[in-house]
Structures are given as C-alpha cells and as structure tokens.
C-alpha cells in the first residue's frame, strides 16, 4: 500500500508530518511506499534528523505551501504546485492509495473533490469525525463540507458513517441518529424531518432523533447533520470540555491543599486526557470521494500524524470505498421500492 | 410589582415553584403581589408546609396541567384551563407584570406569543439564555423559537440580547457576534452573511463572527443564531461539560489515593459548580413579546425559581420592553439610512 503525506501541512510542518510518517513506517509494515510531498531541502533536512533512512520513503518536491489562512478556492486556483495539491495528484494518478494532510481543511476538501471527484452514488462528500464518550465512540458527520445539504445527502452520510463505525471501530450494528433539537420524532426542521422519512425506509439501524443533551449518553453511534450544525456541535463540545479542564486547573492552583489533592488525583485526569486525546483518533475523514483522504488536525503531533496514517491504511485495506458504492446502491434500491410500493393517492375520495 | 408563577410547571411542581415563590418574597420587597396559579388544594397544601402565610400571595385556581411531554400546539389548544395559560392571562389582563414557569418550553412560548403578541418592531420573539465562561457571561439567542429566521430577525435578537447584557448583567458595551463556522468574515451561510451586512450598519458593538471554538474565550458577550443551532450549541456545551465532570468523578473513585486527592481538592470542584450552576441564572427569557416571560428549567429547585422571579423583577423594573421598542426603532432607522445613502448602481459603465 502506498501513502502520500503532505509534508508541509499543519502548524508544525515539516517537522511533525515527517516525524509522524517515520513513526508510522516503524509500526506499520503494510505500507510499501510513503511519499513525503513538499519542499525537498526542508523535508530532507527533517528526515536526516529522524535517524537512518527508510527505503520506503520517497520525497516528491512541491514548491508551494497552502497556508492555514489562505482562502481555499484562491489557494487551489493559484498555488498549482502546492504540497497538498501534489499529494492529491499522486492519488489521482494511482501512484498512492491515500493522502494524509494536517493543512488547511477547506483547501484539502476543495482540492480533493476537484481532483478526485465523488464516488459513484455520492452527490456530495462530507467530513466525518470520531467523538469519544464514556461508553462509546460515535461518528459525527458532516462537520465541514455541505452547509445546506438535501435529505438525500444526509442519507448518503448515514450509509458512509455507518460503514465507518462498522469497519473501522468494529461496531456490529451501529445505531444511526439524525441530530435535531429534541428526541421526539416530530421535532426538527424540514431537512431533519424529511431525512427521517427516508432513513426509515432503509435497512440501517436508524433510531430516530438525538439532541445535544444526549450526545454522550451512549444512545447513538452515528450522528448525521449538516456541516453548519456539525461544525457547531463539534467545536462547542471541544471548547466546553476544554474550558472545564482549564477552569478546574485554575481552581486547583488556588491553595496548597487543593494542589496536593490535584497531585494525588492526577491519574484520574490523565486517564481522561488519554481517552479524549484527539491525537488518538487520527483525524477527520473526507468520505464520498474517489480516494482515501484523511485530515489530521492543524496542531498535529507526530503521534497524531502516525495515527492518521494508520487510519488511512485501515480505509484502504478494508476496501472501504468499494463497500460504500455497494451499500449505497442497496439503500437506494430500498428507498425506491418503498416509494413505488406506497398506495397511489386516490383522487376520488 | 405583581408576578404570576405557574405553580404546576416543572418536574417538581407544585413543591418547588411554591417554595421558590415564598423564598423570593422573603428576599424581594419590590413584589407587592404574587399569584400562584394551579390546583388550589395542592397549592394550598404546599403553602402550608412553607410556614406562616404571606399576605402578598394569592392562589388562582386552574384545573389543568400542561405536561412536559404534551405537544405544545395541542396543549395550548385543548387545555384551556391550564395553570400556565391562566398565569399568562394574568399578564394579558394587566393583573401581573411578569410570568415565571418551569413547565413545557414549547407550550410556554406558543401560549405567550398567542396571548401576549409581539412587541412593536419585533417580527418574531426568541429565547435567550445566559452562559457562564471563566471571564465573562454571555447571552446566547435564539435557543428555542425560530428555526428558520430571516436576517432581520437576527438583527432584532442582537438588539434585544445586547440590552439584556447591558441592563441585567451591567455590561457597558456588550460585544455582539454572529455564530458561524469560522471567525473570518466570509465564513458562514446565506443567513449569517446577510445578518453580518445588516449588523455592520447599526450602532451595536458588532465584532463579526464567532465559532464554537471561541465561545468561552471572552470574545463576545452576545451571540446570535437561529434556534436550531442555538439549541444545538447550548445542549452540546451542557452535555460536554457534564460528561467531563461525571467522567472525572468515576476516575477519581478508582483508588483510595485518587479519592483522597479529590477530597482535598473538593473546594475547586465546588467553586466551578457554583459559577456554572444553572440555578443561579434564573432561566431563559422569552424576548420580544408584550410582557415579561421567564422559563425556568424543568428540574428547577426552589432556588432556581427564586432566581427566575428575581430576574423577572429586574426586567420589569428596568422597563426592559419599553427600551427595546425605542432601540429597535433607532436601529431600524440606522439600517434604512445606510441603505438609502448607498450610491445607486450605475448602468452606464
């Protein structure tokens, strides 16, 4: 298997992408070839710092870098020789099976969509993330692509996320929910209500609505929403959790007794940080495109990059995209059949 | 000042609404009259348990109760003699200045809107809540009424929330932001982009977009959004904060050393619980209707009800609604002037 890594993407590039790639090769012998795409001189210098060379690594030079603050469309249009764009080209040309980047999210999504196109049966791709809860880990999709999706888009997201949960997280029969403003069936807006109707016609394990209140209550393993709400939910959860931690730390430093208490209980804090560590999850996945594309977060450590590469190999090995195409056909047929099986509306009554 | 309390609303009614009302009268001598609306026998029994009678209390009998799971529209239509409806009627008839209820949110909003109507200059009311952060307390609106608002609705929410922050929280010049999926001006959907343009034309202290990442970073004191996103953000933050606390508790109980640590540091936990205690904030406020309407949360303690009543008195005393009408006229004029001052588009170039 061949992986392309955008060596210049992220806040700590090329250091962390290069270090993460080297770590990934140490622990993963399924990778036969790893492209580090970026400024040749800088990537080489980083590589030398990582010890003896691994023959599976190949540096592919790219002269430009898409910065985190660049406008995605402008960047994709004008930076033709960017590390990100060149890395995606490798997938497009069949030279690599997957791309991993910690760079500009919008540019990665735009560029991957333009260069790789969508999978058969997918109208719009979407970005899926994993969120850890005390008793399960759930997939939240879409958190970044489709701000105003149609119900059919959300059904496709449900199929893709459900397969993600099954194949990568090994959930046998993931519970699929639509994010809404209350758990009752009738609560929601036009989009969620219509999506509800469609999902009921599929063989997915659809359990209905979920709202923000129940996110972490082990009720759903797959939560589907539009990118505006998904982004809002993801970031709100992250900042609320972070603020509680930070606040507690401040309060713990206020007197020696509390500080001692914090010291004695530090195992508890570490256990949570470990389970909630975003670096463990490898990053967000752009689902629905013709290729495997992993977005590691901007501040990725080498460990985060390593895990993003591991995630990429799991998608490739599991022939994830081939399975999506099959499943989508199947679900499409189910919806078609239900629709055609409904009794025609009588015009005589 | 006269306050109507829905004595049958909430998970612990009539006990907690009655106890909270009695507590409110102890600490608040601005209240000349307090109506307890509900089942006379049950309310009387509760009142007797609260000690010697306060002559300012009057029980108003209502034979029906709107339950938490009732459909709002059905409840409002069919339960004509509900405690909630009767309490709102007192405001409508001018017998009371404000209503406080811990009952069914949807029914309260529907009923208050139908019976009291909107204020002059307000197209749609909205629900505003206060959210505590380490360095400020911000108003989030709308979290419950308007699922698909127009930009003008959001501008009205901005005016009302801004006055809320000034008058009740005493923020001199509250920073107003539109909730979006990134802080950059060009990020958002049609609604947020259009709202952005309008808010720039007002004299509000408009600072641009805020996203979930920066909610608690002391960047904005007033955050405006539609009810779907507002509800999602509010509940997501609550559950993420709750899950971190719960998780930490579990981890702290795992061994004696951690338990001792937790015990020594308990002052830190308590300090946070105190500041983040929803009972401190009295509840959500339905802004934009012709009257003062406070929604205490369903599980309200007597303390929460007492604070909801205090909040109601602050709105009444500050002549909040009169000020809203003035402000809205002013902002409306500002937007009109900007629009008419713009140079006409030349058709010759």
How far off is chain A from B227, nearest CA to CA, in Å? 9
In a domain, B116, yes or no: yes
Is residue B189 within 8 angstroms of chain A, CB to CB? yes
In a domain, A338, yes or no: no
In a domain, B197, yes or no: yes
Q: Supply the DSSP symbol for A199.
A: H
Shared domain check, A7 and A82: yes
Would you tell me the crossing angle of helices A302-317 and A320-341 to the nearest 10 degrees? 60
Is residue B263 within 8 angstroms of chain A, CB to CB? yes
Q: What is the dihedral of CA B120, B123, B126, B128, to 10 degrees?
A: -50
Q: Which of B243, B269, B278 to mutate to test the interface with A (most CBs of A within 10 A)?
A: B243
Shared domain check, B7 and B115: yes
Please answer yes or no on whether A233 and B212 come within 8 Å at the CB atom.
Answer: yes
Q: Which of B179, B236, B254, B278 to mutate to test the interface with A (most CBs of A within 10 A)?
A: B236
Ranges in chain A, pLDDT < 70: 342-349
- Here the CATH number for the domain that contains residue A83 is 3.40.718.10
Query: Is the complex ipTM higher than 0.95?
Result: no
Q: What whole-number distance in Å separates Cα of residue A6 and Cα of residue B313?
A: 59
How far off is chain A from B307, nearest CA to CA, in Å? 23
Q: Decide: helix, strand or coil at residue B169.
A: coil
Q: Return the number of CB contacts < 8 Å for A and B.
A: 194
Please answer yes or no on whether B267 and A251 come within 8 Å at the CB atom.
Answer: yes
Please answer yes or no on whether B271 and A251 come within 8 Å at the CB atom.
Answer: yes
Please answer yes or no on whether B264 and A266 come within 8 Å at the CB atom.
Answer: no
Is residue A273 within 8 angstroms of chain B, CB to CB? no
In a domain, A249, yes or no: yes
**Per-residue pLDDT tens for B56-113?**
999 999 999 999 889 888 999 999 999 999 999 999 999 999 999 999 999 999 999 9
pLDDT at position B348 = 45
Is residue A251 within 8 angstroms of chain B, CB to CB? yes
Who has greater pLDDT, B144 or B6? B6
The residue count for chain A: 349
Q: Decide: helix, strand or coil at residue B8.
A: coil
Shared domain check, A163 and A26: no
pLDDT band at residue B183 under the 50/70/90 scheme: confident
Shared domain check, B202 and B91: no
Is residue B44 within 8 angstroms of chain A, CB to CB? no
Is residue B273 within 8 angstroms of chain A, CB to CB? no
Q: What is the maximal distance between C-alpha atoms in chain B?
A: 83
Give percent of chain B with pLDDT exceeding 70. 98
Give percent of chain B with pLDDT exceeding 90. 74
In chain B, the residue whose alpha carbon lies closest to the alpha carbon of A213 is: B235
Residue range of the domain that includes A176: 128-281
Shared domain check, B128 and B266: yes
Contacts of B232 in chain A (CB under 8 A): 179, 181, 211-212, 229, 232-233, 236
Shared domain check, B200 and B76: no
Please answer yes or no on whether A232 and B237 come within 8 Å at the CB atom.
Answer: no
Q: What whole-number distance in Å separates Cα of residue B97 and Cα of residue B316?
A: 7
In chain B, the residue whose alpha carbon lies closest to the alpha carbon of A250 is: B268
pTM, to two decimals: 0.91
Please answer yes or no on whether B236 and A232 come within 8 Å at the CB atom.
Answer: yes
Contacts of A258 in chain B (CB under 8 A): 264-265, 267-268
E strand or H helix at A126, and its extent? strand A126-132
In a domain, A187, yes or no: yes
How far off is chain B from A200, nearest CA to CA, in Å? 22
Who has greater pLDDT, B153 or A184? B153
Q: What whole-number distance in Å separates Cα of residue B297 and Cα of residue B283?
A: 6
Shared domain check, A294 and A219: no
Is residue A73 within 8 angstroms of chain B, CB to CB? no
Is residue A299 within 8 angstroms of chain B, CB to CB? no
Separation in Å, CA A57 to CA A4, A54, A88: 10, 6, 17
Shared domain check, A251 and A142: yes
In a domain, A325, yes or no: no
pLDDT band at residue B323 under the 50/70/90 scheme: very high
- Check if the beta carbon of residue B96 is closer than 8 Å to that of residue B289: no
Shared domain check, A209 and A98: no
How far off is chain A from B242, nearest CA to CA, in Å? 9
Who has greater pLDDT, A166 or B275? A166
How far off is chain B from A73, nearest CA to CA, in Å? 12
Which residue is listed with tokens 């008793």? A135
In a domain, B74, yes or no: yes
Given a cut of 90, whether residue B188 has pLDDT beyond it is no
Query: In total, how many domains does chain B have?
Result: 2
Shared domain check, B132 and B178: yes
Is residue B215 within 8 angstroms of chain A, CB to CB? yes
Is residue B212 within 8 angstroms of chain A, CB to CB? yes
Strand partners for B285:
B128, B294
Q: Determine how β-strand B284-287 pairs with β-strand B126-132.
A: antiparallel
**Per-residue pLDDT tens for B21-64?**
999 999 888 999 999 999 999 999 999 999 888 999 999 999 99
The average confidence (pLDDT) of chain B is 92
Contacts of B227 in chain A (CB under 8 A): 181
Please answer yes or no on whether B251 and A264 come within 8 Å at the CB atom.
Answer: no
Domain closes at, from A232, A264, A281:
A281
Q: What whole-number distance in Å separates Cα of residue B312 and Cα of residue B324?
A: 16
Contacts of A137 in chain B (CB under 8 A): none
CB-closest option in A144, A189, A248 to B147: A189
Is residue A246 within 8 angstroms of chain B, CB to CB? yes
pLDDT at position B349 = 39
CB-closest option in A133, A240, A255 to B241: A240
Shared domain check, B114 and B17: yes
Please answer yes or no on whether A181 and B265 come within 8 Å at the CB atom.
Answer: no
Shared domain check, A268 and A137: yes
CB-closest option in B242, B243, B248 to A268: B248
In a domain, B335, yes or no: no
Task: Write the DSSP string, B14-66.
Answer: THHHHHHHHHHHHH-TT-SEEEEEE-HHHHHHHHHHTSSPPTTEEEEE--B--
pLDDT at position A347 = 47
pLDDT at position B345 = 54
């Amino acid at each position: 298997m061949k992986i392309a890594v955008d060596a210049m993407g992220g806040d700590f590039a090329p250091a962390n992408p290069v270090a993460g790639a080297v770590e990934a090769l140490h622990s993963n012998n399924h990778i036969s070839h790893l492209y580090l795409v970026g400024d040749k001189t800088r990537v080489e210098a980083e590589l030398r710092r990582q010890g003896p060379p691994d023959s599976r690594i190949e540096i592919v030079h790219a002269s430009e870098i898409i910065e985190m603050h660049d406008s995605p469309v402008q960047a994709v249009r004008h930076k033709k020789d960017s590390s990100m764009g060149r890395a995606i080209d490798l997938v497009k040309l069949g030279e690599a099976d997957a791309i991993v980047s910690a760079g500009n999210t919008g540019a990665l999504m735009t560029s991957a969509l333009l260069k790789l196109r969508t999978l058969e049966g997918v109208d719009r791709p979407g970005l899926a993330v994993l969120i850890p809860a005390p008793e399960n880990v759930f997939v939240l999709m879409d958190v970044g692509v489709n701000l105003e999706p149609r119900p059919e888009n959300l059904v496709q997201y449900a199929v893709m996320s459900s397969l993600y949960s099954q194949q990568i997280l090994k959930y046998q029969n993931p519970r699929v929910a639509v994010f809404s403003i209350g758990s009752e069936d009738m609560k929601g807006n036009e989009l969620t209500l219509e999506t509800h109707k469609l999902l009921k016609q599929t063989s997915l394990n659809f359990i209905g609505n979920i709202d923000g209140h129940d996110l972490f209550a082990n009720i759903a393993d797959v939560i589907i929403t539009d990118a505006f709400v998904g982004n809002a939910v993801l970031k709100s959860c992250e900042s609320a959790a972070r603020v509680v931690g930070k606040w507690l730390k401040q309060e713990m430093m206020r007197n020696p007794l509390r500080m001692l208490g914090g010291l004695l209980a530090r195992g508890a804090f570490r256990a949570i940080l470990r389970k909630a560590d975003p670096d463990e999850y490898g990053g967000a996945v752009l689902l629905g495109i013709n290729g495997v594309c992993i977005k590691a977060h901007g501040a990725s450590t080498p460990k985060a990059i390593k895990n993003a590469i591991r995630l990429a190999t799991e998608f490739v090995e599991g022939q994830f995209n081939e399975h999506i195409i099959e499943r989508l056909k199947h679900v499409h047929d189910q919806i078609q059949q239900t629709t055609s099986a409904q009794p025609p509306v009588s015009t005589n009554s």
